[in-house]
């Protein structure tokens, strides 16, 4: 785009295509295991196609000399638009890699690619809107405003999109250190990490480990309303304790962190027992769940804490009356039969 303002357009396109091809070849030769850098590869294809068009059109001087920046903006955005519309399928590409290193690298590239596309789309949409407004009111592309929009603004769109992305990263780092959650395989093997904020945004595009602790007291389950800030099933009734397992955090540390946040005065005395690990997936999320059971015994005073004031103890009969009525969270309804069986078995042994 910048070179086209100083040298002939045909030569500019040839140079751009050559640089793109060399960059793709360098990446292909230098980085192993390789990841699919969609923006690099799609831009290379676009520039090669434009160079072919320039070769055949240049002899007849038919190439739009001053519209190369706009042409590049429009042609580059087309494959990115196709990718964005199929972002869920694209986000599953990492799992086609068999090696953990390939999975980790592709996961990082995929996440960053989608973030960059969002910013580029926003700026491009604004740019095209101004072009449309200019054509409606001026009814001619031959004026100062339209010349700027058609010839100069595309350069600013691309440069600004890169600057905004860097500013966004710097702001997030200065305000708060990013908190990462691991990306895992269905078996629980860690293959990478993702910012916790992005984990909430791309809810079912990667598998994230979740710790859930069912609180039991007097052979009843303590259930509470899910927070409106939860990713799924906002406001529905669910077991009390749930959290992401953080990156480089083992299960035991994650359980202790969750207990400390909820019962800061008594967490050291609480000993939840691991019950089951299972994979949960629906249209909104994809999770590997580690389910624990915490029997409070005589420490029922903890349930009077302000942190759990929106919950109460439920009997099996009360729960079963409300099952399949869109009252409980989907995860809890899937776990209920297992929890009931465990609690009934424990009750039998206690009586014995």
Q: pTM above the 0.75 mark? A: no
Spell out, as residue ranges, where the chain has pLDDT lower than 70: 31-35, 58-66, 91-108, 168-178, 197-198, 200-204, 299-300, 306-307, 349-352
**In angstroms, how far is the first alpha carbon of the chain from the final one?**
81
Q: What is the pLDDT of residue 37?
A: 78
Tokens 């406001």: give the residue.
Answer: 235
pLDDT single digits (tens) 244-288: 998 889 999 999 999 998 888 888 889 999 999 999 988 888 899
Paired tokens of 276: 């089951």
Q: What is the pLDDT of residue 251?
A: 93
Torsions phi, psi of 322, nearest 5? Answer: -105, 0
Q: What is the pLDDT of residue 21?
A: 92
CA atoms within 13 A on the CB side of 78: 7
Handedness of CA 162, 167, 173, 178 (dihedral sign): negative
Q: What is the pLDDT of residue 254?
A: 93
Torsions phi, psi of 288, nearest 5? Answer: -110, 110
Query: Which residues, other chains included, contact 58 with Cβ-Cβ below 8 Å and sequence gap of 6+?
Result: 10
CA atoms within 13 A on the CB side of 285: 19
Q: What is the pLDDT of residue 108?
A: 66
How far is it, in rounded angstroms, from Cα 144 to Cα 125? 21
How many residues in total does the chain contain? 352
Specify the fold of 192-351: Nucleoside Triphosphate Pyrophosphohydrolase (3.90.79)
Domain ranges of the chain: 3-175, 192-351
3-state secondary structure the chain: CCHHHCCCHHHHHHHHHHHHHHHHHHHHHHCCCCCCCHHHHHHHHHHHHHHHHHHHHHCCCCCCCCCHHHHHHHHHHHHHHHHHHCHHHHHCHHHHCCCHHHHHHHHHHHHHHHHHHHHHHHHHHHHHHHHHHHHHHHCCCCCHHHHHHHHHHHHHHHHHHHHHHHHHHHHHHHHCCCCEEEEECCCCCEEEEEEHHHHHHCCCCCCEEEEEEEEEECCEEEEEECCCCCCCCCCCEEECEEEECCCCCCHHHHHHHHHHHHCCCCHHHCCCEEEEEEEEECCCCEEEEEEEEEECCCCHHHHHCHHHCCEEEECHHHHHHHCCCCCECHHHHHHHHHHHHHHHHHHHHHHC
Q: What is the pLDDT of residue 100?
A: 45
């Amino acid at each position: 785009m910048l070179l086209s303002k100083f040298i002939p357009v045909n030569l500019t396109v040839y140079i751009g295509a050559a640089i793109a091809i060399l960059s793709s070849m360098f990446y292909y030769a230098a980085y192993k295991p390789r990841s699919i850098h969609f923006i690099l590869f799609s831009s290379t294809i676009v520039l090669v196609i434009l160079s072919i068009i320039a070769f055949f059109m240049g002899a007849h001087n038919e190439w739009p000399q001053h519209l190369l920046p706009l042409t590049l903006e429009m042609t580059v955005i087309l494959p990115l638009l196709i990718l964005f519309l199929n972002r869920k399928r694209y986000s599953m590409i990492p799992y086609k890699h068999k090696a953990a290193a390939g999975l980790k690298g592709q996961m990082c590239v995929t996440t960053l690619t989608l973030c960059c596309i969002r910013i580029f789309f926003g700026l491009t949409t604004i740019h095209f809107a101004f072009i449309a407004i200019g054509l409606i009111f001026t009814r001619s592309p031959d004026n100062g405003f339209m010349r700027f929009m058609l010839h100069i603004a595309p350069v600013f769109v691309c440069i600004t999109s890169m600057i905004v992305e860097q500013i966004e990263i710097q702001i997030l780092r200065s305000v708060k250190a990013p908190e990462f959650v691991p990306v895992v395989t269905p078996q629980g093997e860690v293959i990478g990490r993702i910012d916790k904020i992005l984990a909430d945004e791309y809810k079912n595009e990667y598998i994230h480990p979740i710790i859930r602790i069912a609180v039991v007291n007097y052979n009843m389950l303590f259930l509470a309303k899910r927070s409106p800030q939860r990713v799924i099933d906002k406001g529905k009734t669910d077991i009390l304790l749930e959290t992401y397992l953080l990156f480089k955090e083992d299960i035991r540390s994650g359980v202790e962190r969750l207990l400390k946040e909820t019962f800061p005065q008594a967490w050291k005395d609480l000993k939840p027992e691991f019950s089951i690990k299972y994979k949960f997936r629906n249209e909104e999320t994809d999770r590997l769940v580690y389910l624990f059971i915490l029997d409070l015994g005589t420490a029922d005073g903890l349930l009077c804490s302000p942190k759990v004031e929106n919950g109460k103890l439920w009997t099996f009969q009360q729960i079963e009356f409300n099952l399949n009525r869109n009252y409980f969270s989907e995860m809890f309804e899937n776990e209920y039969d297992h929890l009931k069986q465990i609690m009934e078995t424990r009750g039998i042994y206690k009586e014995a």
